């Protein structure tokens, strides 16, 4: 979350997994930020709120657009309230689509961020914010251990467990097994290391690599791997 010179709120979030609770959570986040943007001493005076959600999936598969602007409007499409905008950006649709002629600000940012993600910087004007970003965000200067560690600090563990159990039920697994698996991975003082190990194993990393990065004993990693196979 950031504020600009006018104290308007700009909120950026990333959603990796499509889930039926996503829309409700986004509305809840917007409501919380709306309340927080209230101008003190003025009951109904609110700052502008711009909430941008980058989706790693196509939320509107039938739409040719990758960017969707959501605002309060009536049935004649007349604007009811102009101080709150939710912008949904479908990343895969943009990257795979024919948007080469799209030179909007957000399109430029997406190309630069995708280039950084693949460690193939794109051509940008010298001295621009994009050039500064590419200079400061060279992933090659960071170790894999550091990146994994930072990712673990930013994770919403409770939500991850919720999604895990929900998907387990959809696949026909017993809820008790999913809860037991979640609890088994989080017991002990090294809970975060176990979570990291489970995520890496689920992504197909070798036991040797997981042991090296998580610092867990090989026996513990093998035990976690056995749980994941159930």
Asked whether the predicted pLDDT for residue 58 surpasses 60, the reply is: yes
Per-residue pLDDT tens for 160-212?
Answer: 666 666 666 666 655 555 565 655 545 554 677 888 888 888 888 888 888 88
- Write down the pLDDT at residue 172: 61
The first and second tokens of residue 90, run together, are 């479908």
Per-residue pLDDT tens for 107-118?
Answer: 998 999 888 888
| CA pair distance 61, 88, nearest whole angstrom | 13
The segment with the largest mean pLDDT, out of 24-28, 62-66, 194-198, 226-230, is: 62-66
Asked whether the predicted pLDDT for residue 75 surpasses 80, the reply is: yes
Q: Is 60 helix (H, G, I), strand (E, B) or coil?
A: coil
Min mean pLDDT across 32-41, 137-146, 206-215 is at 137-146
The first and second tokens of residue 144, run together, are 């894999």
The first and second tokens of residue 17, run together, are 């997994």
The first and second tokens of residue 187, run together, are 């017991």
CB 72 within 8 A of CB 49: no
| CA pair distance 43, 186, nearest whole angstrom | 44
Q: Output the average pLDDT for the chain.
A: 82
- Write down the pLDDT at residue 77: 92
CB 45 within 8 A of CB 87: no
């Amino acid at each position: 979350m950031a504020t600009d010179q006018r104290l308007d709120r700009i909120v950026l979030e990333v959603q990796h997994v499509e889930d039926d609770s996503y829309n409700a959570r986004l509305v809840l986040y917007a409501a919380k930020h709306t309340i927080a943007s209230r101008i003190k001493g003025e009951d109904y005076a609110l700052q502008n709120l711009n909430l941008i959600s980058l989706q790693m999936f196509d939320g509107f598969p039938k739409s040719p657009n990758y960017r969707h602007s959501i605002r309060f409007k009536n049935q004649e499409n007349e604007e009811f309230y102009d101080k709150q905008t939710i912008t949904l950006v479908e990343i895969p649709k943009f990257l795979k689509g024919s948007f080469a002629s799209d030179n909007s600000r957000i399109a430029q940012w997406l190309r630069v961020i995708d280039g950084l993600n693949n460690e193939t910087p794109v051509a940008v004007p010298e001295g621009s914010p994009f050039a500064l970003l590419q200079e400061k965000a060279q992933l090659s200067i960071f170790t894999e251990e550091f990146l994994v560690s930072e990712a673990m600090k930013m994770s919403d563990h409770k939500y991850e467990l919720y999604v895990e159990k929900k998907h387990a039920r959809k696949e026909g697994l017993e809820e008790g097994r999913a809860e037991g698996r979640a609890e088994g991975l989080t017991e002990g003082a090294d809970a975060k290391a176990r979570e990291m190990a489970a995520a890496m194993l689920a992504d197909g990393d070798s036991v040797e690599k997981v042991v090296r990065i998580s610092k867990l004993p090989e026996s513990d990693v093998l035990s976690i791997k056995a749980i994941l196979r159930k």
